[in-house]
Amino acid sequence: MSRPLTEFKSDRDNDVKDLYEKIYPNISISGIRRIMTIVLGDSKKTFVVNGDQCINLKLGNAYDGIGSIINLNKLSEDSVKKIEELNLLIDYYSHTILNYSILPVTGGLNNIKWRLGSDRIDTFIFVLDQYYKNINRAIILNSGSSNGDVGTRKKLESFLSSFGSVEEFVSFIYRLDPDDSKKFIKDSLGSGSEPILDIKGLCQYMELAVDFWELRLESMQKSGVLRLKSGKEKVEKDFELLRDSIKKFTISKN
C-alpha cells in the first residue's frame, strides 16, 4: 500500500502539534512541554487541549457497554486472520493527520470518549447528540473524571457550551464542512448506539472509518492544510482498496 501521508507515532507528537496550529483557529502552543490551549466561544474562554486519535480500532477484547468490540477468541482462525489483515491496512491511516483531532483536557472529554464507548467515534457522537438535544446530559457530565467532582463538570459544561449543537461540535473538532458533518453524524447515529458483536458490525465500523478519512481529506485539501497533488490519487486508491477488501470479507461471512 502506498504511503502518501506522513505516519506519526502518536496524536501528541510535536510534529502533529505543529499541524494542529494550522488546522485549528485560536490555538496556541507554549512552554517546554508544548502545552496546547484554545480560545472558544463568545466568552473567549481558554481551554487546555490535547491530541486525540479519532478512529481507534481495538481488536482482541470484549468491552462492556455500547462501545463493545467483538471478542476475537470467539471467532474462527480464518476470520481472525482476515480481520488482522484488514486492520493492518487501516492502521497506517490511523496514524496520519486524517485521524487526529483535539479534545479538551479541561473537563476530561477525552476520557469520556474512552470510557463510554471503548474510544469508538460513532458512540461518542451518539452520546454528544443525546447531550445537545437534552435527552441525556448526565451520561457525559458524570463521566468526565474519575470522581465526578463539581469543578470538572463545570469546566466540561463550559467547553461544550461553546458549541450550539452536535453539528457545530463535529464540524469544528473534526474540521468538516457543515454538510459533511451532518452526513457523518447521521451515519454515526445509526451504529453508535449499538455494540459491535459480530463481523458485520466490525466491517461497518471499518467502512465508517474510511468514510471519515475521505471527508477529512477533502476538507484539509480545501483549507490548504494538505497539498497532496498526485498524492491525493494514491490516497483515494488506498480507500478504494480498503472498501473493496472490507466488502469482500463481509460477503464471505454472510
- Specify the pLDDT at position 2: 58
Please report, in tens digits, the pLDDT of each residue of the chain (254 residues total).
557 898 999 998 999 999 999 999 999 999 888 999 999 987 789 999 999 999 887 655 444 444 555 666 667 787 777 777 777 778 889 999 999 999 998 788 988 898 888 889 999 999 999 999 999 998 898 876 555 577 788 889 999 999 999 999 999 999 999 999 999 999 999 999 988 877 788 889 989 999 999 999 999 999 888 888 778 888 999 899 899 888 887 766 65
CA dist list (Å): 112 to 66, 99, 106, 128, 145 = 13, 18, 12, 10, 8
- Specify the pLDDT at position 146: 55
Closest CA to 99 of 232, 245, 208, 188: 208
**Which phi and psi (to 5°) does residue 198 adopt?**
-145, 180
Which phi-psi region, left, alpha or beta, contains residue 80 (left: φ > 0; alpha: ψ -120 to 50)?
Answer: alpha
Cβ atoms of residues 56 and 206 within 8 Å: no
